[in-house]
Homo-oligomer: A and B are copies of this chain.
């Protein structure tokens, strides 16, 4: 099964950004991709850089957005993983990945479970933590463990998806650097992001796809300078080996072949699921063991 990761910039407005995505999906499909993954909140800028009630307007179009991407999936005959701003009710919003089948039907959705909040990433202001749990989504290309961004730091999320049979973990992401950080700190942050996710692929013997946005996005309030999204979308195999990796600063489509036989082989030599001490894992449900 051939998958495509689409890494792009924000084009300054929704219309141009969405047009760019659709062109890239079309190209990916033409080159044989059956699964296409878009980056986090790919329709626009990363608006969580500041807290502004007017940004809730962006979620008003959620139903139309779903129709739009359904159509994009159908026209290109691909399973499509999108990342949208969902208005569920007045004052109740989610960061939601909607997955479409090749015929445009909704295969499933995942509401981001772990919500970050730190300077420039004010997501707790915008998104209620998901209430759909960690449920993989069945599609014609396999069972997809769709998670979003901050989830990628949590081994528990990856593990539960794998225990429920996910064959590929998929993370639409928006992560970047502050230019004011040292080069050393930037390197540590990027490598930590890459490494913790490769760790999930290894611990669970699954494929892992992470798609990150790229380019600099300004903070118009001037409270911060802005975020330089580091791109570097990648695919890891079930031993955590990096199969493909994008650049830090360019728009790209990455193609990769997902081979389920390889997962089977790796789990035979490294049968981690065989030996988990599940009777001793109760403390994982605690906040902290004081």
Contact = CB atoms under 8 A, between A and B. Distances in A.
Interface of A: 113-116, 118, 129, 133-134, 150, 153-157, 159-160, 163-165, 188-189, 191-192, 195-196, 198-200, 202-203, 239-241, 269-273, 275-289
Copies in the complex: 2
The DSSP consensus for interface residues of chain A is helix
Nearest to A157: B277
Contacts of A196: 198-199, 202-203, 240
B289 A199 contact: no
A25 B25 CA distance: 60
A160 B284 contact: yes
Contacts of A282: 285
B289 A153 contact: no
B155 A155 contact: yes
A163 B155 CA distance: 14
B163 A289 contact: yes
A228 to B, nearest CB: 17
